[in-house]
Structure 1
Amino acid sequence: MVDLSVILAGFADAFTPINLMFVVCGVMLGQFVGAMPGIGPVMAMAIAIPFTFVIDPLPAIAFLVGINKGGLVGGAVPAILINTPGTPDAAATAMDGHPLAQQGKPEKATKMALYSSVTGDTFSDIVLVTISAPLALVALKMGPVEILALMVFAFSVIAGLVGKSISKGIIAAALGMLAATVGLDPEHATPRYYFGYFELFDGLSLAAVAIGMLAVAEILRRLASSKKGASATIAQPKDMTAADRRVSFAEYWACRFTMLRGAAIGTILGALPGVGSTAAAFMSYAATKKSSKDPDSFGKGNLQGIAAAESANSAVMGANLIPLLTLGIPGSVGAALIISAFVIHGIQPGPLLFEEQGRLVYGLFGAMIMANFANLFVGQLGLRLWSFVIRAPESVIFSTAILLCIAGVYLATGGVFGVIIMLMAAALGYVMTSFGFSPVIFIIAFFLGGRFEIALSQSLVLLDGNVLALINYPIALALFAIALITMVWMIWADRQKEL
């Protein structure tokens, strides 16, 4: 148990002017790169790590955490304003955020995203500070069979609630899983579906596929359907009232249970290595839509949808540090970069970290809390800037966004091949949307496909091909049963709508 004096000393180290400066600079940089489609906070963190070598460990790691937290807020900006997610996990935010912006309320939509993001992030940080070790032990008990069952449950919910048709949702998920098999077999390292291109040995780039299907396809569609003349990307009525520009406390408070649910989902999934914020955002969105008294309002500008997605994907950030700090296991790419920063400064995350570096750990906790407040204040100023920029003609905005997507994917993948994959994914996304198939479900399945395949192969080994052996895994058995019940219920509900 860490002494109270160590905890207080750690928080005192965090709340210093120099540390505050690095946190604010990290948040500002994170919001900026998050708002640039195709770049994202992970790339900014990767570039910044070598420069933190000459800085003391606490401000160096706090700077990286600030970039990560700011990127979560920044990614929602283009998703809401131009339906072009800055990061893959912001795709769920676009489902209700962009329709609300099209109604002439872009500031209300972005502010709701900001408030719910900070709320979910703060909830996750509180969990991290208070019960990080016990929660990490629970996550550690989730073996391959339980992880497999959790993913099957996630697929069943997302395929039924995100798309308009459950059959098309299942097909989109199957296509995403197929795309995830490109590259080396994770079990035997056998190359699959690489067609002579050795660049595909590592599989299709998530950045290229996600940006292509979710961003470039939408940009091309908007450019093709744009009318003659220089019209604004988002029309803002001149007689807009103050209520359309802000989120009132009543509106925020009405979403409290939605944000709490999203924060809980994000925290739980964030503590499980490999699941990620994208899955958390869509699971939270699907759960909110399912529990709503008016599910038909989702996808049309419902504040509850924005709150559900942003609270969940932001809560993952703090929860990712739970297995990192207590077990030395990074739960995401961003957490892996943070753990590399620890190693650069001669610090080894793991069970002994709290005992050997307790002051640094609680200093980091204090910096994370500061980053949440910095996100709130910096975001208030930044959102006004972006809402002003979006008044420019859509031909300017979308052509610039395409250039940013190309540049971002080029840098993320290290060459032109990634850009080609992005353009192919954009064409596929355009076709899927035209025929009513959800590219979002495709991306989720593609994102979880590698982890699903590993969990499946490990589960088959553990079960030795005997399905009855599942009785020894009660948590997995319960998740499989819930997934089956959910699928049957949604198929029945889908047929009832057709009648």
Structure 2
Amino acid sequence: MTMLDSFLNGLAVVLQPMNLLILTSAVFIGFIGGALPGISGVILVVILLPVTYGMDPTAAFMLLTAIYGSTVFSGLITAILYRAPGTPEAVMTSFDGYPMTQQGQAGKALGIGVLSSAIGGLVGTIALIVFTPLLASVALRFSSPEYFALAILGLTVVASLGGKLILGLIGAALGLFIATIGIDPLTGTSRYTFGNLNLAEGVGLIPVIVGLFAISEVMKRTLGGDAHQPLTKVKVKIFDSAIMRKIGVTLSRSSILGVVIGILPGIGASTAAMVSYSEAVRWSKHPEAFGKGAPEGIAAPEAANNAAAMGALVPLFALGIPGSGTTAIILGAFIMHGLQPGPTFMVTSSELIYAVFAGLFIVNFMILLFSKPFIALFTRLLNIPYSALGPIIIMCCIVGTYSVRNSMFDVWLMLGFGVLGFLLEKIRFPLVAIILGLVLGPIAESELRRSLAMSQGDLSIFLSRPISATLIYISCLLLVIAIAAPLIRKYKQRSKCRETFS
């Protein structure tokens, strides 16, 4: 049976009335969960995992993977409207999406986000279906030195965030430090916990993200005299030919980057969004527009994170290795149902796999179909005075943060980071640099130490392996360019001034 025949058989399974109802329900569950700050795909999948135990395996995994895909998309809604990312994958989207909302272009920003998410998801799903064996073999070539080099490349994003490079480096260093708090992953010893058992698991990503972005924004809007949000009707326009021409190249590049990064186990869609945003800035003719409402600043992270979400399923199905936190939960669900993903899984469970593939393919069209009515309902919150909306956002943040680990300590951490974010924004500190260090820190540290263990302390291992050496050379080149470019611009401006006065 050919791949096309298998896909069509899977599509026939999905289009059965009960399975189609399950898929549609999963999309709306994902929409709601992703749009609420602090709720993520991991939480939703964990909550619904017991429900799937009594379900048919095909229906169960259609449900879980559809929730996963739609949650990654819907995080952009609150990121754009309130600068309160509904999911960690949508952090970068808020950087240009929220300024467009402030400029009265919320509908345009949401339309770009919806279109980019659907295209990225479709590219990722097609790659998942067609290139699973090839992409899995590429991922197998990556060892610790390559993962470390990729993390270093990701950290060079701080050079493209705008503002002062030194503040970006300080932010990344702070994020890297926060990432070291907790139990050492290799030795099991406590680090910087000060005897507090709540810090033994480390500082969670959710309290930091929700605090720095959502809570700080509520504080800024409330204390800054912007307590009432103007009545606004958001009209989402998804297909705009002028915008599509403008972001076309960005969508293509970011979707491909998202797939490639997504299939690397443990890297995740958040990293894909950060790297793609950075590349969009680097390739742009107007990098100064980013952070102020650039359409490419929405298209790049949204195409990448949705493509990466699909790419993360490649190592799960082909190797039995989860590519992200959510796929790790889905792997547990497979085991719970008596299934073991791996090299023979495509043969032994072909009907289930292609039903999941077909379901994910349809989910991306459902995002295009159902996003506008969902956003229309959700954006009615814009008519609520901010004096009432602010406390609602804070309540959602508290509930979402608490639900991750059932920890009030995390809630206090979130509020503390909210105050920190509010103060740092007053000096225009790039908050995303902290998130960058926190996300990439564990990867960089673990893979660095494993690499040095492999080479018995010889640092040349990073330059003796072609892939890691290339990534490190690119990182160094990008940092040099970031430092040199402003100096060159200043030199040219001075030269022009001299010519003018001479």
| Same fold? TM cut 0.5 | yes
Name the CA shift for 1:470/1:301 in 2 (closer, same or farther; >3 Å): closer
SS in structure 2 opposite 1:479? Answer: helix
The AA in structure 1 aligned to 2:365 is: F
Q: Specify which of 412, 420, 423 is matched with residue 415 of structure 2.
A: 423
The AA in structure 1 aligned to 2:148 is: L
Between the aligned partners of 1:341 and 1:320, the Cα distance in structure 2 is 16
Q: How many residues in Structure 1 have an aligned counterpart in Structure 2?
A: 491
Given the alignment of the two structures, is residue 380 of structure 1 paired with residue 372 of structure 2, yes or no?
yes
Q: Which runs of 5+ in 1 are unaligned?
A: none
Q: Quote the residue 1:131 is aligned against.
A: 131
Given the alignment of the two structures, is residue 366 of structure 1 paired with residue 362 of structure 2, yes or no?
no
Task: Tell me the CA shift for residue 235 of structure 1.
Answer: 5.1
Q: Quote the residue 1:196 is aligned against.
A: 195
Task: Tell me the CA shift for residue 262 of structure 1.
Answer: 0.9
Task: Tell me the CA shift for residue 474 of structure 1.
Answer: 1.1
Contact map agreement 1:15 1:366 (CA 8 A) in 2: no
Offset from partner CA, 1:335-373 (integer Å, 9 cap, x none) = 112112212221111111011011111111111111111
Q: Quote the residue 1:67 is aligned against.
A: 67
Q: Quote the residue 1:214 is aligned against.
A: 213
Alignment of 1:262-341 (within 5 A): 262-341=254-333
Q: Quote the residue 2:484 is aligned against.
A: 492
Task: Tell me the CA shift for residue 496 of structure 1.
Answer: 4.1
Task: Tell me the CA shift for residue 66 of structure 1.
Answer: 1.6
Contact map agreement 1:163 1:437 (CA 8 A) in 2: no
Given the alignment of the two structures, is residue 236 of structure 1 paired with residue 226 of structure 2, yes or no?
no
Offset from partner CA, 1:12-70 (integer Å, 9 cap, x none) = 21221111111111110111111111122221111001001111111111111121122
Offset from partner CA, 1:138-180 (integer Å, 9 cap, x none) = 1111110011111111111x11002411111111101100000
RMSD after superposition: 1.8
Q: Quote the residue 1:186 is aligned against.
A: 185
SS in structure 2 opposite 1:121? Answer: helix
Contact map agreement 2:7 2:357 (CA 8 A) in 1: no
The AA in structure 2 aligned to 1:154 is: G
SS in structure 1 opposite 2:312? Answer: helix
TM-score relative to the length of structure 2: 0.94
Between the aligned partners of 1:29 and 1:393, the Cα distance in structure 2 is 27
Between the aligned partners of 1:97 and 1:21, the Cα distance in structure 2 is 32
The AA in structure 1 aligned to 2:200 is: F
Offset from partner CA, 1:397-442 (integer Å, 9 cap, x none) = 2210001000111111212111011112212222322233211110
Between the aligned partners of 2:486 and 2:464, the Cα distance in structure 1 is 34
Q: Which runs of 5+ in 2 are unaligned?
A: 492-502
Percent sequence identity over aligned pairs: 33
SS in structure 1 opposite 2:428? Answer: coil
Contact map agreement 1:58 1:364 (CA 8 A) in 2: yes
The AA in structure 2 aligned to 1:372 is: N
Between the aligned partners of 1:206 and 1:32, the Cα distance in structure 2 is 20
Given the alignment of the two structures, is residue 169 of structure 1 paired with residue 165 of structure 2, yes or no?
no
Contact map agreement 1:89 1:278 (CA 8 A) in 2: yes
Between the aligned partners of 2:84 and 2:316, the Cα distance in structure 1 is 31
Between the aligned partners of 2:425 and 2:488, the Cα distance in structure 1 is 24
Between the aligned partners of 1:214 and 1:475, the Cα distance in structure 2 is 35
Offset from partner CA, 1:266-317 (integer Å, 9 cap, x none) = 1111001111111111211111111111112222222111111110111111
Contact map agreement 1:104 1:235 (CA 8 A) in 2: no
Contact map agreement 1:105 1:236 (CA 8 A) in 2: no
Contact map agreement 2:69 2:310 (CA 8 A) in 1: no
Task: Tell me the CA shift for residue 226 of structure 1.
Answer: 2.6
